[in-house]
Amino acid sequence: MKDKVVIITGGNSGIGKALAFEFGSKGSKIVITGRNLEALQTTENELKAQNIEVLSIQADVTQIADNQRMTAEALKHFGKIDILINNAGISMRAFFEEVDVEVIKQVMDINFFGAIYATKSCLPSIIAQKGSVIGISSIAGYRGLPARVGYSASKFALQGFLESLRSEMIDKGVHVLTACPYYTTSNIRFRSLTKDGSLQNDSPRDEKSMMSAEECARQIYNATVKRKKILVLAFMGKLTVLLNKLFPSFMDKMVLNFIKKEGKTK
């Protein structure tokens, strides 16, 4: 990955930030994007302190023009794009019968259409470099979760897009990776949307018991180097995918009970 130019959307926190450090520590040139300018600048300074070459761009993945500007600035600064990591994402926590449909739309705009816009913009350079398109999905892209209807739908859609793109890119020599973390320490649960679109501001889970963002980033890096197609993380993640294929009715009840342990859904 030395001297590869890697764009990471949502690269100012959580898994995205960990990916910036992981790829950067291996000699990659990093572009991070996000909406929060202060967080971007803080992350940029931290990366530079580790002698990682980095460009930060304030951009909103839901805006086509911002994705086009992101691509143009990356090409102007580094001259190429080798890898795009579609990491920007948001979650939600509300049952479908109670949630405002605008919340689901917001989740889809970021998690799915954000990846569509960024990939469309970066793809010509990635094809020229025979590089990689990576999507950070979730186990929720294999198994729909109660009270996460918008989140699961967005991840199912993302995985369908990546699978289709993978087939289209075979003759182009472009690598497409679908990475599916299990529960990982990040800000996504704290920034999860509730039924009316307000922020949850707390986590319903024990964050200390989860895979670290750094370990998640390390495994995604290794999968990129090996040009793997699918990466399902953690034993429980692999078990969930397997059981859902074999015993879907059992899993319907199991995941509902699992989510109920989080307490009252807002």
Residues recognised as catalytic: 151
| H or E element, residue 57 | strand 54-58
What distance in Å separates the CA atoms of residue 108 and residue 62, rounded to the nearest whole number? Answer: 9
What distance in Å separates the CA atoms of residue 139 and residue 258, rounded to the nearest whole number? Answer: 14
Site of tokens 């530079």: 48
Site of tokens 């034993």: 235
Provide the H-helix boundaries in 109-212. 114-129, 149-168
What distance in Å separates the CA atoms of residue 241 and residue 177, rounded to the nearest whole number? Answer: 17
Separation of CA 73 from chain center:
22
